[in-house]
A and B are shown apart, each in its own frame.
Chain A
Amino acid sequence: MLRHTLCILLPVVVVLAVAPVVYRNHLLLFNFIVFMTLAQGVNIIYGFTGYLPFGYVGFFGAGAYGFSLVVMHLHASPFLALAAGGLAAVLLGLLLTPLFRLSGAYFSIANLAAALAVLQVVSNPALEHITKGPYGVSLSGVFDPDLAYAAALAILAATLLLVIYLKNSRFGMALQAIREDAISAAMAGINVVRERVIAWLLSALIAGLVGGVFAWYISVFYPETVFSGEVSIFAIVFALFGGTATIVGPLLGVVILYGIYNAIGISTPQYFQLIYGLLIMGLVLFLPTGLVSLLRRWGIDVP
């Protein structure tokens, strides 16, 4: 565990902490942090428990709106508001725990529907006095990109630490056992329901915190920005591309795919969408366990 912390977490955090000094486009670096954290959040729930959260963005959006509402209505400090964002996502996660009675595709689709339902509620003009409805939120009062960047980096570090813990602990092993065969895992004395819900809520908390810090950093956004289905999809595909249930897989996926996205996706989004779609199809058909499995096949051991 110490080895993983030193060899993976430390270099990633140091590079991202130093990068703003040498690289001007801070928003881009910030987005890399956001997606690395989200991809790891998906990794926790999909990689370790096998539930594919197609509506993962619901937690991200809940976090962003939790943050914004507390700032707008209570004029709270950003750190308190971040906690509120995390709390909002965890509450949404608790609300959605009945979905675990569903399996496979049913769970994914219900989760997607839940995220879209939250978007419909938040962006409804009837709630304009609370959420500002479809007209978006402006948080110029707490605008402080440097501090928000540092907070995002701290959240990424904590998330990585959590994934390293999962990879090296009884708890993580238990989750993977549940993923492989829930009934056998229960026979072996694992409390299936409790462990699964803990992983789910941790994953929601991560997305909520990231959503909050995202709201803080960009400070002006619309409901569609923070509930964009693209966020879930990006996070899932990045995690899958690198390889789930690993520590470096999702990071690798973000660096490569989000890198490509920024190289060609901004100027010609439809060509990126095309390449991206083809990549996803190729991935599922030829490399369903991710890049890391390819490296392992070549005899390079990757945690």
Chain B
Amino acid sequence: MLTYTIFAGLLFGLYFSLVGLGLNLVFGVMRIVNLAHGDFLMLGAFLAFWLFNLYAVNPIPTIAIAFTLFLLAGLPLYYLLVPRLLAARDPEMLSIILFFGFSQVIEAVATIAFGTSERSIPGIALGNAVQWVARTFFGASYEPGPVTLVGQSFPLAWMASGLASALAVLFIYLYLYRTRLGYLTRAVMVSREEAISTGIDVHRVSAIAFGIGIALAAVAGIFAPFMLGSITPAMGVDVTITSFTVIVIGSLGNPLGTVLGGIVYGISYMFMQSYFSSWANLLPYLLLIAILLVRPSGLLGRQVRRA
């Protein structure tokens, strides 16, 4: 039971770090709060749902499609919303309200387009996808079904989501620390003013970071039907709160801290599920408040808060 809880927590933790990663990237670079984060995740989930139902596209190729689509959508969105917002008197506070409005727009459009009924993707879709990947890239045969690890059996969806999340985190790490654009992004994160004065095109760097941020949310959305339960247009708010908890635990503005936050969150979530299931829903909120009060800069953070 204990081993199972810890390992399941770890898998969920990896997934939760993917859920929070994009939000943290956006906050770190632009110092704005994307309250519509959960709604982008919802859109990603619906993209996976429709691609699967209409064209029988497996969730794994959908990752590439979703990433590209949302990255491209993020660029114009950035130029439309953010520069104007950053010019205002209190961008951080106004961003909450602005993106709240935006999340309402997304939710309303999704409701008009998809209706309010709950949807899900059958787990076998992911199983087939994994089988396909195993055959094409590794030449291995694989029968869809639960995966056995450390003597415990876990649903395949958890393993696949955990693995995909780990790969996405690795991708972001390589982007931030091994490419020139990532180097510039980190410069903007440290100090926007100094980045401007050294001649970095801050808007271009930020726009790409914004695009990657919502693209990561969409990718996380693809696994939402397997990890978070059925999908509805109204699911965004809860996801946003969860993402917030995860990144606050890790520390705001430090994308890699999100991984730690996600794992802490995932393991405590699984412990609550196993041992106090009727109070498990309270966890994100209490954890969030507790961390904010005890260590507002997060577990890995430097002191970032003023006053």
Partner of A98, one of B106, B284, B293: B293
Contacts of A108 in B (CB 8 A): 93, 96
Q: Report yes or no: A270 in contact with B305, Cβ–Cβ below 8 A.
A: no
> Counting CB contacts under 8 A, is A54 at the interface?
yes
A240 to B88, CA, bound (A): 15
> Counting CB contacts under 8 A, is A271 at the interface?
yes
A280 to B102, CA, bound (A): 8
Q: Report yes or no: B296 in contact with A106, Cβ–Cβ below 8 A.
A: yes
Chain B contacts to A: CB under 8 angstroms: 33, 81, 84-85, 88-90, 92-98, 100-109, 111-112, 237, 241, 244-245, 248, 278-279, 281-282, 284-286, 288-289, 292-293, 296, 305-307
A194 to B174, CA, bound (A): 49
Contacts of B106 in A (CB 8 A): 277
Contacts of A99 in B (CB 8 A): 289, 292-293
Contacts of A102 in B (CB 8 A): 292-293, 296, 305
Partner of A277, one of B92, B96, B105, B293: B105
Chain A residues with a Cβ closer than 8 Å to the other chain, count: 45
Partner of A105, one of B96, B104, B107, B307: B96
Q: A52-B93, A124-B279, A182-B307 are in contact. Are A281 and B88 (CB under 8 A)?
A: no
Tally of A-B Cβ pairs under 8 angstroms: 128
Please provide the 6 A-B residue pairs with the shortest distance between their CB atoms, ordered closest to farther.
Answer: A280-B101, A277-B104, A277-B105, A274-B108, A273-B108, A117-B285
Q: Report yes or no: A114 in contact with B289, Cβ–Cβ below 8 A.
A: yes
> Counting CB contacts under 8 A, is A278 at the interface?
yes
Q: A106-B296, A109-B244, A121-B282 are in contact. Are A229 and B92 (CB under 8 A)?
A: no
Chain A contacts to B: CB under 8 angstroms: 50, 52, 54, 98-99, 101-106, 108-110, 112-114, 116-117, 120-121, 124-126, 182-183, 229, 233, 236-237, 240, 270-271, 273-274, 276-281, 283-285, 288
How far in angstroms is the closest Cβ of chain A from B97? 5
A105 to B109, CA, bound (A): 27
A109 to B291, CA, bound (A): 12
